[in-house]
Amino acid sequence: MNENQHKKGGRLIKKIDFNSFKFKVWITLMSFAVIIIGLLWISQVIFLEYYLNSYKLNEFRSCRDELISSSESQYNTLEGKFGFTIDVLKEDDDKYVVEYSSNGLNFGSKDQIVSDKSIISESLKNTNEDKDSLIKNNKTSRYYYCAKLNNGRLLFLSQSTEIIDSTVKILRTQMVIASITILVLITCLSVIVSAIFTKDISKLSDSAKKLAKSDYSVVFEEKGNTEIAEIASALNYATKEMAVTTNLRRELIANVSHDLRTPLTIIKGHAEMIKDITGDNKAKREQQLDVIIKETDRLTILVRDMLELSRLEANPELDKKALSLSDIVTDVFDSLSIYNEKDGYNITADIDDDLLVFADRTRLQLATYNLISNAINYTGEDKRVEIKLKRTGDKARFEVKDTGDGIPDENIKKIWERYYRAKEHKRSVAGNGLGLSIVKTILELHQAEFGVDSVLGEGSVFWYEINLIDK
Ligand code: ADP
């Protein structure tokens, strides 16, 4: 049983979900229908009578105009033409005498005195020399049009209202039937429309529920309405991205835990050995303590790199200032050139002076450091590393060249991914696979171009180019 249903007296009662798509479609169409019906009612029922009366008044007036310019002998023709009865009354001491009458039915026949003056007095209330009047008498079911003629006589034109009354009645009944039919049709239409739309939405929602349970094999059907197909395509994209991210996260956790566990195991093993066996053997103890120190350094670098990467991702804001890239590269070269004396390296640098760039000093220094220390780690037996910083047009180009194994084409893209490490290298290098992904993130944040040109067996040149500040 879903949330919108509950049992009452043993029967399943479906509660109306006012927030549902179905209800909203129904209420929208219904409101629309009610407005249209309302407008129809106002025009048909309220204004119809008003409209018919003014239409009649115009007819009476044209009849009157023709009558004024006609002789009494032509009245008959006018009656036939307009379908009105014509009465002309003469006032005589408060009495009204019939001077002309079509059929004598309204006021009596010619020369008779009008006995019932109610229609005359009602008409006269609104009539004067310039103004005519039209009344509708419900008792006799007739229109009476009254106008004063030039010779002081009263002209009455009259017609039965029955046809008009019954037309209005029929129209009103039809309106009621039409309104009910429209409302029923709208309800059916809203059910059909919402069923058409919710069918695709329900499918999306079912797939989304699977996705929520981490089922990344789910596929959102990209068919139906354009908007729904677009949502489905966006969800398919999101699903793919989520699958990739989840995989990366799993790999990341596996890598991190492996990278942390290995040095910790080595440190623990060596510490235990010193404690239990080699504590008094100075030479062995020193050797094992060296291993412990090396592994601790490795751990420190790993933790530092992990922190740097997560900091860069969490807050990719840079503290950019105008600074000398020449100074940065020189500083890194100075700090790493101790390898020249210590380990017999041949690290050389050719650095142009005063190359000013707009950059984050710490970050750009770290990227440069990582590239140079990689070159030191991976260079060939001759231990040669060449550093260059040159102006090329409006850019500064940094290069670091080694004489190592080079990188196979198929790995060129992968080396920038985090935790990627090539399996074989001539010398064992204690890396963690984070160095180049830090370089990549930093250089991208500086909108710098970067890359590697590598020849297998000859070595690699890692480079980046960054805009100079115009002086
Ligand atoms: P690592 O800590 O393994 O050096 P990096 O992210 O700095 O991690 O580098 C990723 C991989 O790229 C390295 O494992 C190595 O295989 C390759 N690589 C990086 N620099 C060089 C280089 N100068 N010469 C050859 N291979 C390199």
What is the residue with the minimal CA distance to atom 26 of ligand 1?
407
Same domain, 198 and 274: no
Backbone dihedral angles phi then psi of residue 375, each to the nearest 5 degrees: -60, -40
Q: Which of 296, 315, 334 is the C-terminal boundary of a domain?
A: 315
Same domain, 142 and 190: no
Same domain, 190 and 232: no
The pLDDT value given to residue 10: 46
Cβ-Cβ contacts under 8 Å for 124 (sequence gap 6 or more): 133, 146, 154
420 lines ligand 1 (CB under 6 A): yes
- Residue ranges of E strands in 325-394: 346-351, 356-359, 384-392
How far apart, in Å, are the Cα atoms of 291 and each of 265, 274, 281, 338, 372? 12, 12, 16, 21, 25
- For a pocket test of ligand 1, which of 374, 405, 410 has the largest count of ligand atoms closer than 8 A to its C-beta? 374
378 lines ligand 1 (CB under 6 A): yes
Find the 414 Cα to ligand 1 centroid distance in Å. 10
Count the domains in the chain.
4
- For a pocket test of ligand 1, which of 306, 421, 437, 440 has the largest count of ligand atoms closer than 8 A to its C-beta? 421
Helix, coil or strand: residue 154? strand
User: Does the residue 341 lie in any domain?
Assistant: yes
Q: Which of 280, 315, 350 is the C-terminal boundary of a domain?
A: 315
Range of the domain at 362: 318-467
Find the 380 Cα to ligand 1 centroid distance in Å. 14
The pLDDT value given to residue 12: 47
Same domain, 201 and 222: no
Same domain, 345 and 410: yes
What CA–CA distance (Å, rounded) separates 68 from 60? 12
Burial bucket for residue 340 (CB in 10 Å: 0-12, 13-18, 19+)? middle
Same domain, 246 and 358: no
Find the 244 Cα to ligand 1 centroid distance in Å. 23
Find the 61 Cα to ligand 1 centroid distance in Å. 105
Amino acid identity of residue 293, one-letter, is I
How far apart, in Å, are the Cα atoms of 396 and each of 300, 368, 385, 388? 32, 13, 20, 10
Can you state the angle between helices 435-445 and 361-378, rounded to 10 degrees?
Answer: 140
461 lines ligand 1 (CB under 6 A): no
380 lines ligand 1 (CB under 6 A): no
Q: Report the predicted TM-score, pTM, of the whole model to 2 decimal places.
A: 0.53
Can you state the angle between helices 226-276 and 282-314, rounded to 10 degrees?
Answer: 160
User: Does the residue 333 lie in any domain?
Assistant: yes
Q: Quickly tell me which residue has 């412990």 as its tokens.
A: 292
User: Does the residue 44 lie in any domain?
Assistant: yes
404 lines ligand 1 (CB under 6 A): yes
The pLDDT value given to residue 4: 46
459 lines ligand 1 (CB under 6 A): no
Please report the atom of ligand 1 found closest to the CA of residue 422. 16
422 lines ligand 1 (CB under 6 A): yes
318 neighbors 447 (Cβ within 8 angstroms) = no
User: Does the residue 77 lie in any domain?
Assistant: no
Please report the atom of ligand 1 found closest to the CA of residue 432. 2
Same domain, 303 and 322: no
435 lines ligand 1 (CB under 6 A): yes
Same domain, 331 and 431: yes
Find the 308 Cα to ligand 1 centroid distance in Å. 18
Same domain, 60 and 180: yes
Please report the atom of ligand 1 found closest to the CA of residue 436. 6
Q: What is the pLDDT along the chain (471 residues), one digit of tens a residue?
A: 444 444 444 444 457 778 887 788 888 888 988 898 888 888 877 788 788 888 999 999 999 999 999 998 899 999 999 999 999 999 888 889 999 998 888 899 999 999 888 899 888 887 776 788 999 888 889 999 999 888 888 999 999 988 888 888 888 888 889 889 988 998 898 888 888 878 888 888 889 999 988 888 999 988 877 888 899 999 999 999 888 878 877 877 777 777 788 889 999 999 999 888 887 888 888 999 999 998 898 888 888 888 888 888 777 788 899 999 999 999 999 989 888 888 899 999 999 999 999 999 989 999 999 999 999 999 999 999 999 999 999 999 999 999 999 999 988 988 998 777 776 655 555 677 888 999 999 999 999 999 999 999 999 999 999 999 965
SS3 content of the chain, % helix, strand, coil (to 5): 55, 20, 25
Find the 116 Cα to ligand 1 centroid distance in Å. 120
Q: In this structure, what DSSP letter does residue 94 have?
A: T
438 lines ligand 1 (CB under 6 A): no
266 lines ligand 1 (CB under 6 A): no
Please report the atom of ligand 1 found closest to the CA of residue 434. 6
Helix, coil or strand: residue 254? helix
User: Does the residue 74 lie in any domain?
Assistant: no
Nearest to 142 by CA among 106, 112, 170: 106
How far apart, in Å, are the Cα atoms of 346 and each of 333, 352, 386, 401, 454? 12, 20, 8, 12, 20
Q: Return the structure tokens found at 263.
A: 């040095």
User: Does the residue 75 lie in any domain?
Assistant: no
Same domain, 372 and 452: yes
- For a pocket test of ligand 1, which of 436, 453, 456 has the largest count of ligand atoms closer than 8 A to its C-beta? 436
Find the 366 Cα to ligand 1 centroid distance in Å. 15
Find the 447 Cα to ligand 1 centroid distance in Å. 22
CATH number assigned to the domain comprising residue 309: 1.10.287.130
Same domain, 363 and 241: no
Backbone dihedral angles phi then psi of residue 70, each to the nearest 5 degrees: -115, 160
Cβ-Cβ contacts under 8 Å for 185 (sequence gap 6 or more): none
Please count the CA atoms within 13 angstroms of the CA of 141 that sit on its side-chain side. 7
Burial bucket for residue 361 (CB in 10 Å: 0-12, 13-18, 19+)? middle
User: Does the residue 76 lie in any domain?
Assistant: no
CATH number assigned to the domain comprising residue 341: 3.30.565.10
Q: Return the structure tokens found at 117.
A: 């003056």
Burial bucket for residue 464 (CB in 10 Å: 0-12, 13-18, 19+)? buried
Same domain, 61 and 181: yes
User: Does the residue 127 lie in any domain?
Assistant: yes
Nearest to 466 by CA among 418, 408, 395, 406: 395
Nearest to 346 by CA among 380, 304, 297: 380
